[in-house]
Amino acid sequence: MDRLTSWERRTSLALLLIGCGFLLGWAVPVLVPGLSAPARDAFWYLQVVTWALFTADYLIRVALAPRRLRFVIRNIPALLVVLLPLLRPLWLLRALLLLHVIAERVQLPLRLRAVVYVSGTALFLSIVGSIAVLDVERGNPDGNIKTIGDAMWWSLTTMTTVGYGDRFPVTSEGRLVAAGLMLAGIALLGVITAAIASWFVERFERTAALERRTEAELSEIVAELAELRKAVAELAALRKAVGELTARLSP
């Protein structure tokens, strides 16, 4: 095991906790607008500290990588998480990249990983998108997304491409978040549809393989029974011949 792999395995849980703290530092002030100034400052410093920890983790991984340029090219999302400034309009993109970086460090079986990625990404994006749009829309006098309930409803209808139109963003930042959710919703629905179709195809193939195996076993049994009937018939003929021969030899 090389040093990079060893470092990533030892820090995977810590990275997950840091990511949760990073999101917490941004989400709480948005969801609780009545926080005091010291509390807001504390959550802001939490964002800065966790971002600094992500930066330190990335730099350590670059230093430990056997081929540093190749590592940087293959880990563009991690680099963007470090380089993106703490700007509100980029929160959805930054949060999605953060999810990708953390998911790369969590080891799960392939089938479970697909389920967790799809469902987790959908839930994650809906929550982050709701908070992001609430953050930029609530202070606008023309906005109609004023509560987290409104934001969650809008996020759900947007990601599922229903789009009732009763809630919609009016700011450019909100529309940027909406565009991200639309694209993510279409992509996730496509993945879910493909996964369901793949599951049905796999089940049908498994059933067909079982039927073919059963038919082959039945064919073998029929062939064995035919051979057994042939052997029984030959045995009966032999017994008859022996009986006739015995009758002739008898005085």
Evaluate if residue 218 carries a pLDDT over 50. Answer: yes
3-state secondary structure of 251: coil
CATH of 108-217, one of 1.10.10.10, 1.10.3470.10, 2.60.40.2700, 1.10.287.70: 1.10.287.70
Give the pLDDT confidence of 92-149 residue by residue, as tens digits.
555 555 555 555 555 555 555 666 667 777 777 788 888 888 888 888 888 889 888 8
Q: What is the mean pLDDT of the chain?
A: 78
- Counting residues of the chain whose pLDDT is more than 70, the rounded percentage is 82
Neighbouring C-beta atoms of residue 108, cutoff 10 Å:
12
pTM of the predicted protein model = 0.63
Which one, of 40, 13, 22, lies nearest residue 91 by Cα? 22
Is the model more confident about 93 or about 152? 152
The dihedrals phi and psi of 138, each to the nearest 5 degrees, come to -65, -35
Q: Who contacts 110 (Cβ-Cβ below 8 Å, separation ≥6)?
A: none
Name the band, by pLDDT with cuts 50, 70 and 90, for residue 42: very high
Looking at residue 163, the DSSP 8-state letter turns out to be -
Give the pLDDT confidence of 54-85 residue by residue, as tens digits.
888 888 988 888 888 888 888 776 777 677 65
Is the model more confident about 8 or about 52? 52
Neighbouring C-beta atoms of residue 206, cutoff 10 Å:
10
Torsion sign, CA atoms 118, 124, 125, 127 = positive
- Residue 59 contacts residue 6 (beta carbons within 8 Å): no
What residue segments make up the domains of the chain, in order of their start? 1-107, 108-217
